[in-house]
Amino acid sequence: MDDLGEYNVPVASLAVLFALYFSQGLPSGVLAHAFPAIMRDQGVSLEYIGLIKLLALPWALKFIWAPYVDRIGWARIGVHRTWIVAMQLLLVGLLLLASMSNYESLFGPLIVIFLIGILLVNTSAATQDIATDGLAVKVLAERFRGIGNSVQVTGFKLGMILSGSGLLLGIDHFGWSLSMQLMALLLVLLMLPIFTGAIPVYPKVTNNFDAGVADKGMARALPLTVYKGFFKRSNMLAWVLVLITYKLADSLGSVMIKPLLIDSGFSLGDLATITLWSSIAGLLGAALGGYLYLRLGAKNMMLIAGLAQAVGIALYTLVDLHWVGILGVYGLSIFEQAVDGMSTVALFSLMMAQCRSGHEGADFTVQASIQVLVSGLAAALGGLLAGMLGYFSTFVVAGAVGLVSLVFVLHYFRQK
């Protein structure tokens, strides 16, 4: 059997990227899983807790400032590395400030200041994500981008899992202040690998537009100029159709899986166990997806993972028909999450292939923003379909949409 060594995989660079994506997952896990529980435990109103989701808006809007992240930086350490270090240090500073604050006051009289801090955390993490994605595109040759995106997905998810549950356990055992300080220390340690030399310092890319960026009017026009250049390239319509449709099956159907299971008589305890094992399967699927992308190539991987994704979603019709019991649901959930991880890695890898030199962070970010927006709209549509047509029809439609997306994949590769 071939091993990764025969492919000359840049293991040291991948290790650095894993540390960076893992560190990005830490604040995301805290905000998504730990803080809502902590806030409610402290008696914070549901209205304030609901604002946490709204304060994640920088992740959706980061494409606006992504072109500046590709251009502004300290040449001595590299443009993207400048932003990664700066944003990581900002996160460390915010955690240390939080550790010095009174626990009860932070979730009481100082709640508005706390929410402002959350907005800063999201802005910092989203900006670091732009820079890390841009650096990953530069570092990874095209054939290694599948493995690189396996590192991205698994690293980020593991960071979320560790921080989401770890902070709650830490506060219970060590208290608020020490837990915040330990997380700050962990972020510092995860930042150190970027200085090891495993990733070279990339000089700032300049062009005629950059030469005039000091002019305020041209600086304001930078995002528009960058994205016009991105979308004006040949074959971009074919690619955008892939970008919009490839994950539609998952977005339409996956949001209705847990409601389906509840309505089919499964308990919350059943769902907790199913979610645990399917989450593990998702991590393993993402890891396997990178290796398969390396072995099979972009086209074959996109088609195989896309087909499996469509089938995985459509098979939930069997649950609605009561043709499978709890073991069958475990199997379906594990399969669906595994192929979701593989298809995500395949899509992200091909997104990297669309990025232009000097625009890596911006090009990847605008594609990710489009994909997130479409996924959110599709999830809402999935709820409407289930309400009007029922679960069976919703999963049939989702599976069919997944098959249609493969037509766009084939069209894209024929146009290349």
Would you say 320 and 401 are in contact if contact means Cβ atoms under 8 Å apart? no
Query: pTM value?
Result: 0.84
The residue written with tokens 């539609």 in the block is 248
The residue written with tokens 């086209």 in the block is 299
Please check whether the two domains, 4-204 and 235-415, share a CATH topology: yes
Q: Hey, which CATH number is domain 235-415, 3.40.640.10, 3.40.190.10, 1.20.1250.20, 1.10.260.40? A: 1.20.1250.20
Which fold is adopted by the domain 4-204? Growth Hormone; Chain: A; (1.20.1250)
d(CA 158, CA 206): 36
pLDDT tens digits in sequence order for the chain, 416 residues long: 344 455 566 788 899 999 999 999 998 888 877 888 788 888 888 778 777 777 888 988 999 999 999 888 887 778 889 999 999 999 999 999 999 987 778 777 888 888 899 999 999 999 999 999 999 998 888 888 888 999 999 999 899 888 888 888 888 888 889 999 999 999 999 999 988 876 766 655 544 444 444 445 556 668 888 999 999 998 899 999 999 999 999 999 988 998 999 899 988 788 888 888 988 999 999 999 999 998 999 999 999 999 999 999 999 999 999 999 899 999 999 999 999 999 999 999 999 999 998 899 999 999 999 988 898 889 889 999 999 999 999 999 999 999 999 999 999 999 87
Would you say 339 and 281 are in contact if contact means Cβ atoms under 8 Å apart? no
Domain coordinates in residue numbering, the chain: 4-204, 235-415
Among 149, 162, 216, residue whose Cα is nearest residue 32: 162
